[in-house]
């Protein structure tokens, strides 16, 4: 029994999902939809699918699932349309930059009763998933502190910065999800500090490029997140969890294990350059779990509510930045 | 233009090759041949191929390449038949346990003028390949010493040991190939020491389970190889190359980067359990390069002669073991 | 020309300083002073010094330097007395828990014109010092973020907690000094979050055992510090500095380089248990630099003002904890 | 009760021993003897000892121990003289380059009944000692293979090469001792391969600069040693022990834990430059154990017989190099 997909978005994340669908023994990519018809055509052709418009894709009753990898401003509309059409939804993060819109979207999904997975890909990274299993197994006892480092290799284009919703909604949203997942409790207060020290243009565009956050949960668990839009050595994604009995760290995987020693130094590989390389395996695992959850009628490993909660933390951080005060998190 | 394959052997290595063929955009698995008809049928079905007998597969003129992953004693016959049928050949190592038979086989391939790749998968491992590129680029100057550690997680079944040709032809053959590849010169003398200290049964079956070899090239480069049939911590495959300007080391990759610290120790992942996991990427790369070499009319990255030369080193090691003398390598 | 010392305090830090003085070719331990006469006697005897009362030690004109390693509440009085007696001062941190008292003490030192080093031992740790040299050399360009992890193996006795001045003045004071040293700018705002999640008794005593701080400098550099009174795996002291051109990390040194691999895991040494072991070399270097600065009439590598500034940050953190607001740092 | 020493040799190893004696609470350096009177004078003065001639030092009945750190050709004579004078002996390796002379020397020591420690400093290195404790505790089960890498940063002066006794007696002698210590059985056969690939002048002087050895014990344990006179990245001293239950590795310690990441690579410290830095702690531990063994009337941790046995292995290696045959070890 094969799950047939229509995919929206033929950009770089769409390309990854398409290739994973093509290799999947219980999934099939049927349609690719993109405002850029040529891009849709090419990606469809590469994997034996067909380019289509949104309506045809949504109306085809043989299509069981919609994968949304188009631009952020289209996510909520597509989710709602997919929900109405009774399709399962795999939606790239964020659902929307507006909390109100997110809530409308989730209401539509809930009322349609369709399964929905929000694409927090890091939960499916082998190292972060192993770290989470260790925490859940009690390997380090009661969780006390979580420290998340998340640094991009280079700033995105300024044009993107302007429509991104800002660093907290666009970039740190992933880390807010990791924080909730690993803390095992909802953060109660959020404090943020930030600057545009990497590129003054980003500051002039009203955004920040460097940020640090502190959060505290009701039982006193603490969490720190640091973000930067620049890491000259590559994509830097590390997590530490400290508990009453020990510490778990997930570091950066590297392309090879080669080490060179010479008169200057001992040098090893840099981390993978960016998320497409680092999270290749995570994207494949995410799709596997989406398909398996539908097959087996199990709940999705990341829900729409997870998407909303991460956004609540981003909103609190943004308010804190404006006030210099630790903000309470709405619920 | 797609290269159509017939594959011989539906065991665990065959299964890997079949999956890699299924994912390949310029290759297609057409036939699976196996003495065990059910195994052939199941593997073929999984990937949209058909089970066939050897003759039909070899006679189908639409088939351009034969992949030989059946038991060792069938390799030479299949190579010769494939050569006669004008097919390109990807043959798992070893070509044969008998040097005479290997030479007959290579003569047939040569006279047919078909391309042939011997499956020394380690050459396609990302870390070993990066190490080789470093050596070739001169990153460490003139090569002076090569040290190869190669240790299996657990001994094979005794039944396999008895038909394997012995540790030197069956297991260390890979390391002999790595040694030749990295030394950049043919070894001139080979000395071996060994024992059956892991399992006395292996000794009673006439084989050894632990071995060390020293080799020397004409210009004075030295090479050490150590093998064991047991490594409780998993598959241990490491290489060091020492040169006039530095040292390159390729270590064991691990499934995750997770580290746990507690009152006992700081612990990290063990290496991958065995070759299927460790060399998954290598097998895919091997197939890519085989297809690309045919596409582009380039020479194969590992030749039949490479297969023969590795066997010559194994033969010299076996003789040295019997005599306690460093043996000259035949050519 | 040998510098003669009188040392106050014969406890565990005194013992370290005494041994370092005994080995020093240009220093000599003359007097040991302690309210516990037996302790003074024993330590003095071990290193060829004599036990004395405070007045005799301060009045001896052959004594050039006073090393203050007694309990915190005695530091300021001893500094003032030493300054009046015209002695150079090496004073363990903190100078005092009260900012007013610190300022009185520094005024006395300034007016006496004697050299004074505050014992922020971490500045003399080989790894942290190398990291600082890298920053100063511009190895990572403009400093953007500093991340400091500092975790003790186990909480101190409750009796100590009650007189310690609290985690921020007693423990994080070291990290505030590291932050100032590495940021290269004075922090302008400080935010703190904390809890007593390790031991509820510590909370009942009015202190916290787990804390996180965020600081921001005028140019937008950000700094995070995390502290815990418990780390089951040993003393955890790590620093990251991120700059426009790269990242410097100083990790935990270990007693040995031994790694054990078995069926369970690959395990390496835990960090040193606590500061006496981890900073043994730092204490020796600190003394060397104190003596060398006096010999050569150079300024002290850590000044009394450094002690005061670190305390200002601790005070701001404490206020932030009470208010939930990022506090401006006094100057 | 203080043990009074006379030390022969005021060179770089003598300087280390002198400093360690100066710091030792139960030892005292009384005399320094050297053919270079100025060197003796200076070293003696630095540590409050006196320069003396050999006879006065040996005749002083208050002297309990002789430390021999002079040139190799003087070791045996000094040992014999010290033994006759009833002094305990700490003799730097090797006892002598001639096996006959070593045996005469050991006979004199035995007949005098004085304690003797041969300075195989590596046994006292914290990492190698921890590795040995792990082996003895059974952490890795039955020992099966030992792999020793031992590489100097740069070749010694040619003048030294010519009187050194050659690489096997001068350099690999340390590794032969490590091998015996860790194998837990005497090697029965030794095979060696070597070349002068680092520096042809060394070859013309009749020595080699690169060497590999294989050894086998009666129960089938195998050992590999590799040596090079050049390692551009610093002193490289690593040991692996493989057993039935696991693997122990001792790697190279480094001066700091600092790691720098930038656009080029992730780089860490090189190993310590050479033995004086790498084994500073080992030399101090060696002296401690020598003094403690005398204090407590316990046997020495490394005996004269250990010195002789290591030389037997070197002799076998040299013979193997000439013959291309694995040589039996004399006893």
Give the DSSP H/E element, type plus range, for residue B291. helix B280-296
Of D46, D131, D259, the CB nearest to C258: D131
Q: Do D265 and A266 touch (CB under 8 A)?
A: no
The predicted pLDDT at position A141 comes to 98
Closest of D85, D108, D113 to residue D95, by C-alpha? D108
Given a cut of 80, is residue C1 above it in pLDDT?
no
Alpha helices in chain A (DSSP H): 12-23, 37-46, 54-59, 72-84, 99-112, 126-136, 158-163, 167-170, 172-183, 200-204, 275-278, 280-295, 304-323
Chain B neighbors of D244, CB-CB under 8 A: 198, 230, 232
As a 3-state breakdown, chain B gives helix, strand, coil percent values, each rounded to 5, of: 40, 25, 35
Give the DSSP H/E element, type plus range, for residue C3. strand C3-8
**Mean pLDDT score, C299-313:** 97
By C-alpha distance, the chain C residue nearest D140 is C262
State the nearest Cα–Cα gap between D262 and chain C, in angstroms: 4
Q: Do B260 and A139 touch (CB under 8 A)?
A: yes
Q: Do D210 and B193 touch (CB under 8 A)?
A: no
**Interface ipTM > 0.90:** yes
Could you count the other beta carbons within 10 Å of the beta carbon of residue D219? 14
Q: Do A228 and C242 touch (CB under 8 A)?
A: yes
Mutate one of D182, D260, D267, D280 to test the C interface: name it (highest C CB count within 10 A): D260
Per-residue model confidence as pLDDT tens digits over A311-322: 999 999 999 999
CA atoms within 13 A on the CB side of A104: 12
Separation of alpha carbons A264 and D264, rounded Å = 13
Place D65 in a pLDDT band, splitting at 50, 70 and 90.
very high
Of A196, A228, A247, the CB nearest to C145: A228
Find the Cα–Cα–Cα–Cα dihedral A120, A124, A126, A132, rounded to 10°. Answer: 80
A117, burial (CB in 10 Å: exposed 0-12, middle 13-18, buried 19+): buried
Of B246, B260, B263, the CB nearest to A134: B260
Contact B189, D326 (CB under 8 A): no
- Listed in order, strand segments (DSSP E) in chain B are 3-8, 27-33, 50-51, 65-68, 88-92, 116-119, 143-151, 189-195, 210-216, 222-228, 236-243, 246-250, 258-262, 266-268, 327-328
Place of tokens 């299964």: B15
Of A126, A253, A256, the CB nearest to B127: A256
Of B233, B263, B264, the CB nearest to C261: B233
User: Residues 246-305, chain B: which have Cβ within 8 Å of A?
Assistant: 246-253, 255-263
State the nearest Cα–Cα gap between B180 and chain D, in angstroms: 17
Contact A86, A114 (CB under 8 A): yes
By C-alpha distance, the chain B residue nearest D219 is B197
Chain B neighbors of C233, CB-CB under 8 A: 261-263, 265-266
Q: How many whole angstroms from its chain centre is CA B83? A: 21
State the nearest Cα–Cα gap between A280 and chain D, in angstroms: 22
3-state secondary structure of D46: helix
The predicted pLDDT at position A310 comes to 97
Structure-token pair, residue C142: 């403009």
Q: Do B255 and A126 touch (CB under 8 A)?
A: yes
Chain A neighbors of C215, CB-CB under 8 A: 193
| Cβ contacts of B18 within 8 Å, gap of 6 or more | B7, B10, B29, B32, B43, B46, B47, B49
Q: Does A228 touch chain C (CB under 8 A)?
A: yes
Of A23, A134, A258, the CB nearest to B258: A134
Please write down the HEC assignment for all residues of D150-190.
EECCCCCCHHHHHHCCCHHHHCHHHHHHHHHHHHCCCCCEE
The predicted pLDDT at position D330 comes to 86
Place C270 in a pLDDT band, splitting at 50, 70 and 90.
very high
Structure-token pair, residue A194: 């930030």
Mutate one of A144, A240, A257, A280 to test the B interface: name it (highest B CB count within 10 A): A257
Chain D neighbors of A263, CB-CB under 8 A: 232-233
Given a cut of 90, is residue C23 above it in pLDDT?
no
Mutate one of B145, B258, B263, B264 to test the A interface: name it (highest A CB count within 10 A): B258
By C-alpha distance, the chain D residue nearest A234 is D263
Given a cut of 80, is residue D1 above it in pLDDT?
no
Chain B neighbors of D142, CB-CB under 8 A: 197
Would residue C113 be called left, alpha or beta, if left means φ above 0 and alpha means ψ between -120 and 50 degrees?
left
Of A214, A219, A228, the CB nearest to C214: A214
Given a cut of 90, is residue A25 above it in pLDDT?
no
By C-alpha distance, the chain A residue nearest D231 is A262
The DSSP call for residue A232 is T
The predicted pLDDT at position D23 comes to 87
Q: Do C220 and A197 touch (CB under 8 A)?
A: yes
Predicted confidence pLDDT, tens digits, chain B (331 residues): 799 999 999 999 999 999 999 889 899 999 999 999 999 999 999 999 999 999 999 999 999 999 999 999 999 999 999 999 999 999 999 999 999 999 999 999 999 999 999 999 999 999 999 999 999 999 999 999 999 999 999 999 999 999 999 999 999 999 999 999 999 999 999 999 999 999 999 999 999 999 999 999 999 999 999 999 999 999 999 999 999 999 999 999 999 999 999 999 999 999 999 999 999 999 999 999 999 999 999 999 999 999 999 999 999 999 999 999 999 998 8
Q: Do C263 and D256 touch (CB under 8 A)?
A: no
Q: Do A266 and D268 touch (CB under 8 A)?
A: yes
Given a cut of 90, is residue C25 above it in pLDDT?
no
DSSP result, C10-68: -SHHHHHHHHHHHH-TTEEEEEEE-SSHHHHHHHHHHTT-EE--HHHHHH-TT--EEEE
CA atoms within 13 A on the CB side of D63: 26
Closest of D68, D148, D169, D119 to residue D283, by C-alpha? D119
State the nearest Cα–Cα gap between A251 and chain D, in angstroms: 13
3-state secondary structure of D35: coil
**Mean pLDDT score, D36-53:** 95
Given a cut of 80, is residue C231 above it in pLDDT?
yes
Mutate one of A261, A268, A271 to test the D interface: name it (highest D CB count within 10 A): A261
Per-residue model confidence as pLDDT tens digits over A231-261: 999 999 999 999 999 999 999 999 999 999 9
Mutate one of C258, C263, C281 to test the D interface: name it (highest D CB count within 10 A): C258
Average pLDDT, chain D: 96
| Cβ contacts of B195 within 8 Å, gap of 6 or more | B203, B208, B209, B210, B211, D216, D219, D220, D221, D222
Q: How many whole angstroms from its chain centre is CA B12? A: 14
Contact C92, D221 (CB under 8 A): no
DSSP result, A98-111: SHHHHHHHHHHHHH
Separation of alpha carbons B306 and D61, rounded Å = 72
Separation of alpha carbons C285 and C294, rounded Å = 14
Chains sharing 3 or more CB pairs under 8 A with chain B: A, C, D
DSSP result, A59-128: H-TT--EEEE-S-HHHHHHHHHHHHHTT-EEEEESPS-SSHHHHHHHHHHHHHHT--EEEE-GGGGSHHH
Structure-token pair, residue C118: 């505050």
Contacts across the A-B interface (CB distance below 8 Å): 87
Rg of chain C over Cα atoms, rounded to whole angstroms, equals 20
Average pLDDT, chain A: 96
Could you count the other beta carbons within 10 Å of the beta carbon of residue B2? 13
Contact C65, C294 (CB under 8 A): yes
């Amino acid at each position: 029994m094969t799950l047939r997909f229509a995919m929206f978005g033929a950009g770089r994340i769409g390309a990854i999902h398409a290739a994973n669908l093509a290799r999947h023994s219980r999934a099939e990519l049927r349609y690719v939809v993109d405002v850029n018809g040529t891009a849709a055509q090419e990606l469809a052709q590469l994997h034996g699918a067909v380019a289509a418009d949104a309506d045809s894709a949504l109306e085809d009753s043989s299509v069981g699932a919609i994968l949304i990898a188009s631009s952020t401003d289209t996510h909520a509309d597509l989710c709602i349309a997919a929900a109405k059409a009774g399709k399962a939804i795999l939606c790239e993060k964020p659902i929307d930059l507006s909390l109100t819109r997110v809530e409308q979207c989730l209401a539509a999904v809930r009322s349609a009763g369709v399964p929905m997975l929000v694409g927090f890909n890091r939960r499916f990274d082998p190292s972060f998933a192993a770290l989470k299993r260790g925490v859940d197994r009690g390997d380090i006892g009661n969780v006390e502190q979580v420290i998340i480092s998340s640094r991009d290799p280079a700033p995105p284009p300024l044009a993107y910065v302007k429509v991104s919703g800002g660093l907290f909604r666009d970039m740190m949203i992933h880390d807010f999800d990791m924080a909730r997942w690993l803390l095992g409790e909802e953060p109660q207060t959020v404090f943020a500090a930030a600057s545009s020290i990497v590129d003054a243009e980003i500051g002039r565009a009203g955004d920040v490029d460097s940020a640090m956050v502190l959060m505290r949960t009701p039982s006193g668990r603490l969490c720190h997140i640091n973000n930067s839009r620049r890491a000259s050595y590559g994509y830097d994604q590390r997590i530490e969890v400290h508990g009453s009995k020990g510490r778990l760290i997930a570091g950066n995987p590297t392309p090879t294990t080669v080490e060179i020693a010479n008169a200057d130094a001992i040098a090893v590989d840099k981390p993978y350059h960016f998320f497409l390389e680092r999270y290749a395996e995570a994207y494949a695992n995410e799709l596997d779990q989406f398909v398996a959850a539908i097959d087996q009628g199990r709940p999705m490993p990341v829900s729409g509510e997870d998407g909303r909660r991460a956004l609540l933390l981003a909103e609190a951080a943004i308010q804190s930045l404006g006030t210099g005060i630790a903000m309470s998190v709405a619920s």
